[in-house]
Amino acid sequence: MGKLRVPSNGLIKRILAEVDFEGRLEGFSLRERSGPVPVVMYRFEEVVSFLNDPHPRLDFRELEGWIRRVVGDTELAEQIAVAIKKGNNDQERTYLIRDLMEVRLNQCKMEGCHEDIV
């Protein structure tokens, strides 16, 4: 996995924006007593937060496609595809993907363009 390039202003806006109902991403958070709890995400940042959950469950290929088609970040989607192959199990894959997405989110927040988005 390589280093992510600085995103364009257009990509920053898409990453920091909320998607519509059709563009949502769904996963499950496993809870000790209640079992799987559905989680619906409309923002890139919500996905990053979800991946920090103790037991997130998400179809990684679906996430890769969501990043590619809905968010429009081909570079990150390609890095996620590499992480999927590199991880030996879902926990490792989760950490690798979460770390990539955190890097991208931090890049977007550091660029300062997020203040222009309302």
Answer positive or negative: Cα dihedral of 101, 90, 64, 14: negative
Given this model, what pLDDT does residue 82 score?
96
> Do residues 18 and 74 touch, judged by C-beta distance below 8 A?
no
State the burial class of residue 49 (Cβ atoms within 10 Å of its Cβ: 0-12, 13-18, 19+).
middle
- In eight-state DSSP terms, residue 5 is P
The pTM of this model reads 0.88
In tens digits, the chain (118 residues) has pLDDT values of 678 999 999 999 999 999 999 999 999 999 888 889 999 999 999 999 999 999 999 999 999 999 999 999 999 999 999 999 999 999 999 999 999 999 999 999 987 544 444 3
Given this model, what pLDDT does residue 112 score?
55
Dmax over CA atoms of the chain, in Å, equals: 44
Which tokens sit at 102?
A: 């955190």
* Cα–Cα distance measured from residue 72 to residue 28, given in angstroms and rounded to the nearest whole number: 24
Given this model, what pLDDT does residue 31 score?
87
One DSSP character per residue, 34-57 reads: TEEEEEEE-BHHHHHHHHTSSSEE
Given this model, what pLDDT does residue 49 score?
97
Given this model, what pLDDT does residue 117 score?
44
